[in-house]
Amino acid sequence: MKPVIRVPYFEIGTKNYIWGDKVLEYAKAADAAAEKYDIDVIFITPAVEIRRIAENTKNLIILAPYMDTLRPGRGMADILPEALKDAGAQGVVVNHSEKPMSLPAIKAAIDRANELDMLVFACADTIAEAKAIAQLHPDIINPEPSELIGGAGGGVSDMSYVKESIKVIKDIYPDIMVEQAAGITNGQQVYDFIMAGSEAAGAASGIMNADDPLAMIDEMIAATRRAADDLKKQQLSP
């Protein structure tokens, strides 16, 4: 059975900014903040780091950044889905802008992940791509303009893009969770995206390049908690 994620959640991607003991340090900080604020946290980290993080944390939903679709047997250097799951990965990212995939390849990865009850976190650049990927029914779609990823664009997705991408995806499959993550560098942006209708926010470079990455992890997860509380107040108000 796939993990059940409570929304709003927060997502952290380490990419290859850090490795080894530093990855574990950040994972433990995220794990502590997830417990402190009672927020589900997705932690995406290179395959070689997955087992150690899984064995040393208890609150994180750990995702691999990529996998191949081969089956056990031959396949030198390919990343076997079963091996990722055995290491502790609960899901996988597909089609990140730094590891783009064709639609047939995305579908093949989704099918393999579903066989193993692994979450599928799909990335999309344009609204049109988000719509096409939604037809394949991944668990999560993260629509983010590629020019904003990594902080290169000096900003975040504008709210018209955020709202349109959410509508396009939800019109196809309402149960697909939609995250916004491009260019986020502080907790207020996390809060604003969630209050605008996103079910989650996330960051990679916004944390990894922060003056104090551990403090930024806490700030962003705290902002997710604040948004969750304010959304609940809105639902309860007459």
Q: pTM (2 decimals)?
A: 0.95
Residue 229 has pLDDT above 50, yes or no: yes
For 116, residues 6+ apart whose C-beta sits below 8 A from its C-beta are 81, 82, 85
Catalytic residue chosen out of the listed positions 96, 129, 199, 219: 96
Tens of pLDDT, residues 166-203: 999 999 999 999 999 888 999 999 999 999 999 999 99
Residue 152 has pLDDT above 50, yes or no: no
Tens of pLDDT, residues 72-111: 999 999 999 999 999 999 999 999 999 999 999 999 999 9
227 and 195 in contact (C-beta within 8 Å)?
A: yes
Tens of pLDDT, residues 14-39: 999 999 999 999 999 999 999 999 99
**Who wins on pLDDT, 142 or 156?**
142
Does the N-terminal peptide bond of residue 100 adopt cis geometry, omega within 30 degrees of 0? no
pLDDT grade, residue 5 (50/70/90)?
Answer: very high
pLDDT grade, residue 149 (50/70/90)?
Answer: low
CATH fold, domain 9-231, is TIM Barrel (3.20.20)
Catalytic residue chosen out of the listed positions 144, 179, 199, 219: 144
- Is 137 known to be catalytic? no
Domain ranges in the chain?
Answer: 9-231
pLDDT for the residue numbered 147: 65
User: To the nearest whole number, what is the mean pLDDT of the chain?
Assistant: 94
pLDDT grade, residue 150 (50/70/90)?
Answer: low
190 and 184 in contact (C-beta within 8 Å)?
A: yes
